[in-house]
Amino acid sequence: MKQRFKSIGLADLCSWFGITRQAYYQRKRHGYEQALVAEMVISEIKSIRTQHSRLGGRKLFHKMESFFESHQIKIGRDAFFDLMREHQLLIQPRKRYHITTNSKHWMRKYPNLIRNQEPIGPNHIWVCDLTYWKTASGHYYISFITDAFSRKIVGYHVADNMEAIESVAALKMAKKTLKSGHTGLIHHSDRGSQYCSATYVRELHKQNIQVSMTENGDPLENAIAERINGIIKGEYLNGFKINNLSHAQEVLKAVVKLYNEERPHSSISLYTPAMVHENPLEKQIQRLWKNYYRKENDSGNEIEKCKPILGLKNECKFVPGLKQKNTVKL
């Protein structure tokens, strides 16, 4: 307007719209401040994404709380997501279709021991799975062993084949984290040939670890392990260009360290897995993600008849007045 009516003063132009000249300058200054804040927030998001390239918006918002406080930035979660959407920083999920489980074999299959159990602390239930990693240099297979209570990856191994001995390497790494004389540990996996093999089962029996397996071939029976596969590959590994197996091993080691020590986890009150695993008695664990398999009654409370997500008792436990969260306090 000022460019078109150069002979008219700013005060008169503002009066046409029923505002004062002071209000005009305040709005203009506010626009500059908002642009500066947006630039600072986007810069910090990109800085975090240099290591956590596909970290979701909610976890980003949690990790940046200290940044907001130190820079006196007031921004809500919805505005944060709008800003990410505007700059095309939201993450689109990827799908996987490669099958790595062969349960049609003659070897002994074990019953599901965690159907009516919930993890009471670290090293009570380990969940395990083998996942496929497609790279430009070839196809690799990763064995993960995860603590069901803390969500910490305690054992891992990457190889260019699916032989049982490769999964045993991940198990041996996990066993090194156990204290001498530890008892009561349950190892839960699918019914794949690697986990049913005599070599693998023998390693479990050496440490008096109970063997548990899925029974119906339903991924929900081993959902924690399936979720870990998705996080590690979807948020980290798929962004790397791998040269060879040795390079793949280096990348996996760095990624697991990032996941265990820096990535907040929605299933453990947005703590990192390492924090919960090492100090379980100091943390009040609360699940912060929504379970879409739960049903509600007319009063809005969750009912007990629901489909279990993790194969654990507490995932379908009725808590009066609690809609989306399940709290376990040690």
What is the rounded distance in angstroms from the CA atom of residue 315 to the CA atom of residue 321? 16
- Say how many C-beta atoms besides its own lie within 10 A of residue 167's C-beta: 30
Which single residue is written with the structure tokens 């299933």? 267
Which single residue is written with the structure tokens 């990348």? 251
Could you state, in order of their start, the residue ranges of all structural domains in the chain?
10-86, 125-264
The encoded tokens of residue 36 equal 């500066």
Q: Which of 170, 188, 182, 189 is nearest to 206 (CA)?
A: 182
Q: Which residues pair with 187 in a beta bridge?
A: 126, 211
What is the rounded distance in angstroms from the CA atom of residue 128 to the CA atom of residue 31? 52
Handedness of CA 296, 217, 91, 283 (dihedral sign): positive
Q: Which of 209, 191, 15 is nearest to 103 (CA)?
A: 191
- pLDDT tens over the chain, length 330 residues: 555 555 566 566 666 666 666 665 666 666 666 777 788 888 888 888 787 877 777 878 888 888 888 888 888 888 888 888 888 788 776 665 555 555 565 578 788 999 878 898 999 999 999 998 988 888 899 999 999 999 999 999 999 988 889 999 999 999 999 988 788 899 999 888 888 999 999 999 998 899 999 887 677 888 899 899 989 988 889 878 899 999 999 999 999 999 999 999 888 888 999 999 988 766 677 777 665 445 544 444 444 433 333 333 333 333 333 333 333 333
Q: What architecture does CATH give domain 125-264?
A: 2-Layer Sandwich (3.30)
pTM of the model: 0.66
